[in-house]
Amino acid sequence: MKSILFVDDEPFILSSISRMMRKERKRWNADYANGGEEALEKIRSETYDLLVTDMKMPVVDGMEVLRTAEELYPKMPRIALSGYSEKETDARTKKLAQTFLDKPCDSNKLKKTIELFIGDS
């Protein structure tokens, strides 16, 4: 079963994603990191098939999470989520993430994007 790490510093967002992923538990194994610091700990100690991270987080932002994930697992697909659309950030993000989704992201769009990168199981 493929595993996905979701990263966000907003508990409400992680809770919402968790509810969505509960319905998909036969297809994918979901793990959650509350912020960039926790995400770095997890990606340094566990292996994931896909990373989905928020970009705007205090202390350790999404860019650092993406950069570290790319260094450790260059073939692992990475999805960036953000409610902000800054051109400079978008350009840098495109070098580190395979795709960029606006936040809030429709659950069907997120699921379809996940399927695109890791399939059904």
User: Closest Cα to residue 21, out of 35, 10, 32, 9?
Assistant: 32
State the pLDDT at residue 82.
80
What's the DSSP call for residue 52?
Answer: E
CATH of the domain at 71: 3.40.50.2300
Domain that holds residue 110: 2-118
Helix/strand number for the chain, H first, E second: 5, 5
50-54 sheet: strands from edge to edge: 28-34, 2-8, 50-54, 78-82, 99-102
State the pLDDT at residue 89.
59
The two most distant CA atoms of the chain are separated, in Å, by 38
Domain count across the chain = 1
State the pLDDT at residue 65.
97
Cα-Cα-Cα-Cα torsion 6, 12, 17, 20, nearest 10 degrees, comes to 160
Per-residue pLDDT of the chain (121 residues; tens, 9 = 90+): 999 999 999 999 999 999 999 999 999 999 999 999 999 999 999 999 999 999 989 999 999 999 999 999 999 999 998 876 555 556 666 788 998 888 888 899 999 999 999 987 6
